[in-house]
Chain A
Amino acid sequence: EVQVVESGGGLVQPGRSLRLSCAASGFTFDDSAMHWVRQAPGKGLEWVSGISWNSGHIDYVDSVKGRFTISRDNARNSLYLQMNSLRPEDTALYYCAKGAWQYLANDAFDVWGQGTMVTVSS
């Protein structure tokens, strides 16, 4: 079964850090770009970051640039999101999503995890 499973969410104070992980299985991980998409409570979807199959192309939404870092370990079939200097507005359910292609642009998110909740509050 093709699946991705997120972990690492939790309650954290503003300004602190958190690292999210995404474990992939059932598909050839290094054949796919991977993405993080978040959804604040009661709000719509927001793409956060994406990484191409070989980590050669990485992009972020403007609001997290300089604070978040996406990475992947193809040997471990894993995707990560290091989140520093967290803000209350980062509070959301963070989804890991598999890309249908190898590269970032014009990709489609064809497999989604169930998400991991990040709450930033004092």
Chain B
Amino acid sequence: QSVLTQPPSVSGTPGQTVTISCSGSSSNIGSNNVNWYQQLPGTAPKLLIYGNSQRPSGVPDRFSGSNSGTSASLAISGLQSEDEADYSCAAWDDSLNGYVFGTGTKVTVL
């Protein structure tokens, strides 16, 4: 059950900045941390951002996360060809007592 809404796709040219939105509600994004995952083609997901805006060791600072109210955003600056992947947000939902993922966004580098 995807209760977090993301745009199906975003695209940009190398070097550009793209932003992916993640819209939720007061029971998930509005009251809990948001994490972002990157899934390169044919591979397992990888944690990209945790706690709304923290980057795990090894994740380039080109990736940044933020949130406001019941929405969150992932920005990729200095877009590179290797950033072509699917990106998903996720958060704990207090009403469902479980995690909900976003619908996923495919990033294409033109």
Q: Which residues of A are at the interface with B, using a C-beta cutoff of 8 A?
A: 35, 37, 44-47, 50, 59-63, 95, 100, 104-110, 112-115
B35/A112 in contact, CB under 8 A: no
What is the minimal beta-carbon distance from A22 to any residue of chain B, in angstroms? 13
Q: Which residues of B contact A115 (CB under 8 A)?
A: 44
Q: Establish whether residues B32 and A44, one from each chain, have CB atoms under 8 Å apart when the complex forms.
A: no
Which residues of B sit under 8 angstroms from A106, Cβ to Cβ? 32-33, 92
Check B47–A47 contact: CB distance below 8 A.
no
Given contacts A100-B50, A110-B56, contact A44 B44 (CB under 8 A): no
Q: Which residues of A contact B75 (CB under 8 A)?
A: none
CA distance A42 to B88 in the complex (A): 14
Give Cα A24–Cα B88 distance, bound, in whole angstroms: 24
Among B32, B50, B99, B104, max chain A CB count under 10 A is at B99
What are the nearest 6 A-B pairs in CB distance?
A47-B99, A108-B50, A44-B104, A112-B44, A45-B101, A108-B35
Q: Is B100's CB under 8 angstroms from A47's CB?
A: yes
Cβ-defined contact, A109 with B103, below 8 A: no
Q: Considering the chains assembled together, what is the distance between the CA atoms of A109 and B46 in angstroms?
A: 8
